[in-house]
Amino acid sequence: MGEKGFSYEAAGVSIERGEKSVEMMRSAVARTHGSEVIGASGGFAGLYALAGYEEPVLATTIDGVGTKVMVANALGRHASLGADIVNHCANDVLAAGARPHIFLDYIASGRLDPEAVAETVRGAAEACEKLGVALVGGETAEMPGVYSGGEFDIVGVCVGASERSAVVDGENVRPGDAIVGLASSGLHTNGYTLARKVVMDAGISYDDSPDGLGSTVGGAYLAPHRAYVEEISVLRNEVEVRGMAHITGGGLPGNLPRSLGGCGARLDVSSWEEPPVFDLIRSLGNIPDDEMRRVFNLGVGFCVVVAEEDFEKAVGILSGAGCTAWRIGAVAEEAGVSFE
């Protein structure tokens, strides 16, 4: 046995790689800090001075981007993952009626790639900056015993706040109310295990550009998850919003009922436009409609419930704010979601 002892790096963890990634992302993170962020970065906890609320309610969420990271790894493009996780978490907070204020990220891998980590966090910081959210902390973990090679995962935590009186929980939803769908940018962050499988089984490359797609497969698959914070803020200033749903894993059937206060929904499948990426997946995998609806958002990334007499005004406001929107159905007395 040699005289040289074990080291952390010999075991597979490099402190230097972690420090390098932090240094590369530092300036981007700092740009998200306003006067509400207290103290210098590098502390053990992020400090944020919450102000402007008389009876504040905190809204919190945690989520990941699933196997979308595998597409990003295959293409060597990671910035969109940062935007994905910020926007996904911000939308979850938004669905409760809250405004997102702070965000934290966690990136774990088998072997840290400082450039990939920094690119991901810079993407998150840019998304935070656009939404007025402070990126107050994060963690990078190198765990060769859990992840292999260049595999990695990203998780985000978002905290928002609302006046207690402004919380949206579906309690005021009534049968006959209109359901307005806001357009998604594509897959967002759900269904990638199935989306990747149909491409692999068909022998198609992420660099291919199938007819009608309008981009490469990789470009369509990595389209960033859309945030709806600003559009919904404008809408709520003008219209009573009775329910909101972020359409993620489980699609419309799995997510819309969570916003309806025990009611159900009747949806008109001809009332909105699907991005072409969904038809590509449907045709490559010969996937039935019920399964597509259960897995993907199919072009509707967020829903709001308003009184029937307000739906035209709501659609107009959302469209004016830069988001295509449609009246996609109505609230029903019977539980569940039906497609007509």
54 DSSP 8-state letter = S
Tens digit of pLDDT for each residue in 110-130? 888 888 888 999 999 999 999
pLDDT of residue 46: 87
pLDDT band of residue 12 (cuts 50, 70, 90) is: low
Q: Are 166 and 237 in contact (CB under 8 A)?
A: no
The CATH number given to 178-339 is: 3.90.650.10
Beta bridge partners of 155: 64, 106
Tens digit of pLDDT for each residue in 142-157? 888 788 777 889 999 9
330: tokens are: 């109505």
User: What's the mean pLDDT when you consider all of the chain?
Assistant: 91
pLDDT of residue 143: 87
pLDDT of 16 above 70: no
- Can you give 93-105 as a three-state secondary structure string? HHCCCCEEEEEEE
Assign domain 15-166 to its CATH superfamily: PurM-like, N-terminal domain (3.30.1330.10)
pLDDT of residue 5: 57
- Chain Cα centroid distance, residue 22: 23
- Please compute the mean of the pLDDT values over residues 166-172 and round it to a whole number: 96
Domain boundaries, the chain: 15-166, 178-339
Tens digit of pLDDT for each residue in 250-302? 999 999 999 999 999 999 999 999 999 999 999 999 999 999 999 999 999 99
pLDDT band of residue 11 (cuts 50, 70, 90) is: very low
Tens digit of pLDDT for each residue in 292-336? 999 999 999 999 999 999 999 999 999 999 999 999 999 999 999
Counting residues of the chain whose pLDDT is more than 90, the rounded percentage is 78
Tens digit of pLDDT for each residue in 222-256? 999 999 999 999 999 999 999 999 999 999 999 99
Tens digit of pLDDT for each residue in 60-108? 999 999 999 999 999 999 989 999 999 999 999 999 999 999 999 999 9
- Give all strands (DSSP E) within the chain, no chain letters: 37-38, 47-48, 56-64, 99-109, 134-142, 152-163, 178-183, 243-246, 264-267, 300-306, 325-332, 337-339
User: Which of the residue ranges 5-14, 33-42, 195-204 has the most confident prediction, judged by mean pLDDT?
Assistant: 195-204
Q: Write the CA distances from 74 to 207, 221, 258, integer angstroms.
A: 10, 12, 35
Tell me the DSSP string of 198-219: HHHHHT--TT---TTTSS-HHH
Measured CA angle at 30 (ends 25, 34), to 5 deg: 155
pLDDT of residue 42: 63
pLDDT of 1 above 90: no
Q: Is the pTM of this model over 0.85?
A: yes
